[in-house]
């Protein structure tokens, strides 16, 4: 029997440049498990997703990071794409929002280039995670241990490398989110 996320709220933090499949597939997985998902971003309106370097769909923002209350959410997902986390990590409201999930021990899922925002939030030191390979040195410099695995879980932090890993990533975030705080 698949884990249920009935009654849970999951924040997805993304902006222009998000890798579409890294946003849409995890969102679909948590919604199919019963969660309510909301898109948190840097600005109101909509964001432009990409399929690698090509523009794809746009997605409506539910709330800005400046107005989002981390206490309203049970879990967090940080999709990748190169431009997305690079922009997010420069926004103090986004960084504050992300850090709050770690301060309260809520589960977090991050894929591909998404860990850049975790580095900026100062939450990777002493943790083990995976990512797109080009982040290996950045993560090591921030005090993390990098592993080359399809999906890796460290005390509620679920990480994955790339779009090919999405099925395993989705299954693991649903499981960890169902468990709750770690």
**Which residue segments constitute the domains of the chain, with CATH numbers given?**
9-179 (3.40.50.880)
Report strand pairing: 46-51 vs 54-60.
antiparallel
pLDDT digits (tens, 9 = 90+) for 146-177: 999 999 999 999 999 999 999 999 999 999 99
Name 1's Cβ contacts closer than 8 Å, sequence gap at least 6.
Answer: none
Question: Catalytic one among 52, 112, 170, 182?
Answer: 112
Catalytic, 170? Answer: no
Q: Residues 52, 105, 113, 170: which is the catalytic one?
A: 113
Q: State which residues of the chain have pLDDT below 50.
A: none
Quote the pLDDT of residue 2.
Answer: 74
Q: What angle do CA 105, 156, 69 make, to 5 degrees?
A: 45
Of 127, 58, 47, the C-alpha closest to 88 is: 47
In the chain, the percentage of residues whose pLDDT exceeds 70 is 99
SS (H, E, C) the chain: CCCCCCCCEEEEECCCCEEHHHHHHHHHHHHHCCCEEEEEECCCCEEEEEECCEEEEEEECCEECCCCCHHHCCEEEECCCCHHHHHHCCCHHHHHHHHHHHHCCCCEEEECCCHHHHHHHCCCCCCEECCCHHHHHHHHHCCCEECCCCEEEECCEEEECCHHHHHHHHHHHHHHHHHCCC
pLDDT at 57: 97
pLDDT tens readout for residues 126-154: 999 999 999 999 999 999 999 999 999 99
The predicted structure's pLDDT at residue 1: 67
């Amino acid at each position: 029997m698949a884990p249920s996320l009935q009654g849970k709220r999951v924040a997805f933090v993304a902006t222009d440049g998000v890798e579409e499949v890294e946003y849409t597939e995890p969102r679909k997985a948590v919604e199919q498990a019963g969660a309510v998902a909301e898109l948190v971003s840097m600005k109101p309106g909509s964001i432009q997703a990409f399929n690698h370097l090509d523009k794809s769909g746009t997605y409506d923002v539910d709330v800005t990071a400046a107005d989002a209350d981390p206490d309203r959410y049970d879990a967090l997902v940080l999709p990748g794409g190169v431009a997305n986390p690079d922009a997010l990590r420069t926004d103090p409201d986004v960084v504050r929002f992300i850090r709050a999930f770690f301060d309260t021990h809520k589960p977090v899922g991050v894929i591909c280039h998404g860990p850049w925002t975790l580095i900026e939030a100062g939450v990777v030191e002493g943790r083990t995670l995976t990512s797109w390979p080009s982040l290996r040195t950045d993560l090591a410099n921030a005090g993390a241990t990098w592993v080359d695995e399809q999906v890796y879980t460290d005390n509620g932090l679920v990480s994955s490398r790339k779009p090919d890993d999405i099925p395993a990533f989705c299954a693991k975030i649903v499981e960890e989110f169902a468990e709750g705080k770690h």
